[in-house]
Structure 1
Amino acid sequence: MPPRRPRTLTIVLLASLVLVAAIAAIALWRDPYTVVRADFARQRLAAGLSRQSVRVDDHLWVYAYSDDAPKDAPTLVMLHGFTGSKENWYPVARRLRGHYRLLIPDLPGWGESQRVPGADYGFLAQSERVDHFIRQVAADPRGVVLLGHSMGGGIAALVAARHPQEVARVGLIDAAGVRFADNRFGARVLAGQNPFGVEDEASLKRYLDTVFHDPGARPWIPWPADRIYINRRRGDAAFEQQVLTRIGRGDESFLPGQAAADIRQPALLLWCRQDAVIDSSALALYAQQIPHANRVLLDNCGHMSLVEQPDMVAQAIEMLIERGQGP
């Protein structure tokens, strides 16, 4: 009579798989956004980054980081934009890891970091929070290299201008904070709308079409992640409008551009010619305030230069660090 061990083993394995599937289904039912977070974790690991959290004042920050760098390597702090998250920087981080110490936070109120009901998430309040984060987590006697994209660029400009002792060099990438040439995006913001709002499949497509110029760089969001992401953005609609009111049509809208006149550190201004969000005319406006900044205008990319042209963005950052200016 043949031994029954293989059949028994098969039954045990099948039972284990069923159990794992059941546990996964329960976890997904309790927190559908687990699917998106799992993909973000995959992206982080692919970029060679670790994850950490820290409480700074009244907010819990979550950030990705890499200490895989020479002992005397500069520290880079990378700030994401409106509706963005630390994951936006991963394509660039993959190209810089191993050369510099990297710190890539979710700004308070966004991503995995804490959102406090009723708190101010405008340019000025966030710039003070970033300064405190740098002092606590990224402290470097030489100062950090502070890089900001979009809304994060406006925040970075304020930090560099108001706290020069913490910032050795600054890079503003597709940065908000100046009155750029009129475009459809800006007109909708001034009209009280949220051009980045996502509430269904059509608005998700419109959102991606707005921020990306290169179709090949646009992320593919398969089912059920697309539905989960849409539901998350629906839940964030009121918060997004609150922030947009402060940074897009309130008294703080052009505060970063005004403060930029006080930036004395080596600086980089980088834009994409086809940016349909913050028109590339913003580059010249920031350059008027920071005349010593090196200017880089990339072609064939939109607002998400970090994803569409990561090689060129990384090269510009390296030149800012190694030579004090961009390429």
Structure 2
Amino acid sequence: MAADTDMVNLLVIAGATLAIPILAFVALFILWPSALIKIYYWYWRRTLGLQVRYADCGGYRFCYSYRGKPGYRPSILMLHGFSAHKDTWLTVVKYLPKHLHILCVDMPGHEGTTRTNTEDYSIRGQVRRIHQFVETIRLNRKPFHLIGTSMGGNVAGVYAASYPSEICSITLICPTGIRYPCETKFDNHLQDLEHSHYTLSIPLIPSTPEEMEDMLKLCSHVRFKIPQQILQGLVDVRLPNNDFYQEVFMEILGENSRYALQEHLHLITAPLQVIWGKQDQVVDVSGAAVVAEALPGCRLDILEGCGHSVVMERPRRTAKLIMEFIISLGTTSGPIKKCS
């Protein structure tokens, strides 16, 4: 009888021990989905071996994550897109060799990087800030590989044109900053916005779960089924930043930034790779031909069944293409392991 009682007590204790984290997860999911999202990113960074660090320079602070150490092989710096953050790259980093030195930085004003009311968030302004970051951590002691997606691709291309001696190669993923021969669904939204003098809501700056779902549909060809609570969490995380996002949005649409990449293409001397989702509804895939015409030696990788969010829709394929490109250049010392 005593043994049975002990067994019951053990089962109760075990059940209670298991119930606590389960109940905590359910509570977070229902009451604080935004907190659950932050925990998710923290756990994923930890699992992939990424560490978060800060770089201070003249009162300005950059937040970035990194894995590995500088060595004979070129470091890889990754620039995310508009209204995103350094963790955007986790899906791709997962499939990159662990021995490479990889850095993912929060773009100016985004996430953990300093945000000021007087900051220049134009493409050239962001290029200057990223160069400040590179100098602060001394990443430019030897040429590095630069990757940018969307707005980050625009910044990466102008950076490579402005500081050619620092770049050994560059990958642009669905970059903005080009005069696209064909219009997209987002271009139609932009025309409506301009006609309304920007009084209409901006599709890339959602403020409700429904608008968040619409934005995800606009950016992704693959349809992800996302629970309403998670959509709410994504909105909750973004809402405090929406005024800032609108400021950046207006800056990068301005005459000094809208076609910045195209205006600098002829100055890019490093080997260039362009990856684009064929079904991109934000910036049309016809932009790839514009880049190829300006730089005939560049490598084009067009992904079928893929939209604007290439790093989310095709992370394994993206990592594979990037590594194939880097290896083909022979810019590494010693063998590079294949992507897992």
- Shorter-chain TM-score range: 0.7 to 0.9
Q: 1:202 aligns with which of 193, 202, 210?
A: 210
Q: Which residue is equivalent to 2:68? A: 67
Q: Which residue is equivalent to 1:125? A: 125
Q: Distance in 2 between matches of 1:61 and 1:223?
A: 33
Tell me if 1:265 matches 2:270. Answer: yes
Q: Which residue is equivalent to 2:104? A: 104
Tell me if 1:305 matches 2:310. Answer: yes
Q: Distance in 2 between matches of 1:252 and 1:151?
A: 10
Determine helix, strand or coil for the equivalent of 2:39: helix
Q: 2:291 aligns with which of 282, 286, 291?
A: 286
Q: Which residue is equivalent to 1:39? A: 40
Q: Which residue is equivalent to 2:256? A: 251
Letter in 2 for 1:92: V
Cα 1:222/1:58, change in 2 over 3 Å: farther
Comparing 247-256 and 297-306, the one that deviates more? 247-256
Letter in 2 for 1:166: E
Q: Which residue is equivalent to 1:317? A: 322
Tell me if 1:157 matches 2:164. Answer: no
Under a length normalisation based on structure 2, what TM-score does the superposition of the two structures give?
0.82
Q: Residue by residue, what CA displacement relative to the aligned partner does 1:132-159 show, whole Å, maximum 9, x if unpaired?
A: 2112225243311000000000000111
Determine helix, strand or coil for the equivalent of 1:276: coil
Cα 1:221/1:41, change in 2 over 3 Å: farther
Alignment of 1:73-222 (within 5 A): 73-137=73-137, 139-180=139-180, 181-190=182-191, 191=194, 192=198, 194-215=202-223, 218=224, 221-222=226-227
Comparing 190-199 and 292-301, the one that deviates more? 190-199
Q: Which residue is equivalent to 2:336? A: none
Determine helix, strand or coil for the equivalent of 2:257: coil
Residue identity over aligned pairs, in percent, reads 25
Determine helix, strand or coil for the equivalent of 1:236: helix
Q: Distance in 1 between matches of 2:117 and 2:187?
A: 27
Q: Distance in 2 between matches of 1:167 and 1:57?
A: 25
Structure 2 segments unaligned to the other structure (5+ residues): 331-340
Determine helix, strand or coil for the equivalent of 1:165: helix
Contact 1:268 1:320 in 2 (8 A): yes
Contact 1:47 1:91 in 2 (8 A): no
Cα 1:53/1:33, change in 2 over 3 Å: farther
Contact 1:73 1:99 in 2 (8 A): no
Q: Distance in 2 between matches of 1:110 and 1:221?
A: 24
Q: Tell me the C-alpha RMSD between the 2 structures.
A: 3.2
Structure 1 segments unaligned to the other structure (5+ residues): none
Q: Which residue is equivalent to 2:300? A: 295
How far off is 1:124 after superposition?
Answer: 0.7
Cα 1:64/1:40, change in 2 over 3 Å: same
Q: Which residue is equivalent to 2:56? A: 55
Contact 1:103 1:138 in 2 (8 A): no
Q: Distance in 1 between matches of 2:155 and 2:149?
A: 9
Q: Residue by residue, what CA displacement relative to the aligned partner does 1:247-266 show, whole Å, maximum 9, x if unpaired?
A: 12433210121112100111
Q: Distance in 2 between matches of 1:272 and 1:79?
A: 18
Q: Distance in 1 between matches of 2:237 and 2:315?
A: 27
How far off is 1:82 after superposition?
Answer: 0.7
How far off is 1:225 after superposition?
Answer: 4.1
Aligned length: 318
Letter in 1 for 2:137: V
* Higher relative contact order structure (alpha carbons within 8 Å, sequence separation ≥ 6): 2
How far off is 1:201 after superposition?
Answer: 1.9
Determine helix, strand or coil for the equivalent of 1:96: coil
Determine helix, strand or coil for the equivalent of 2:165: coil
Determine helix, strand or coil for the equivalent of 2:46: helix
Contact 2:68 2:99 in 1 (8 A): no
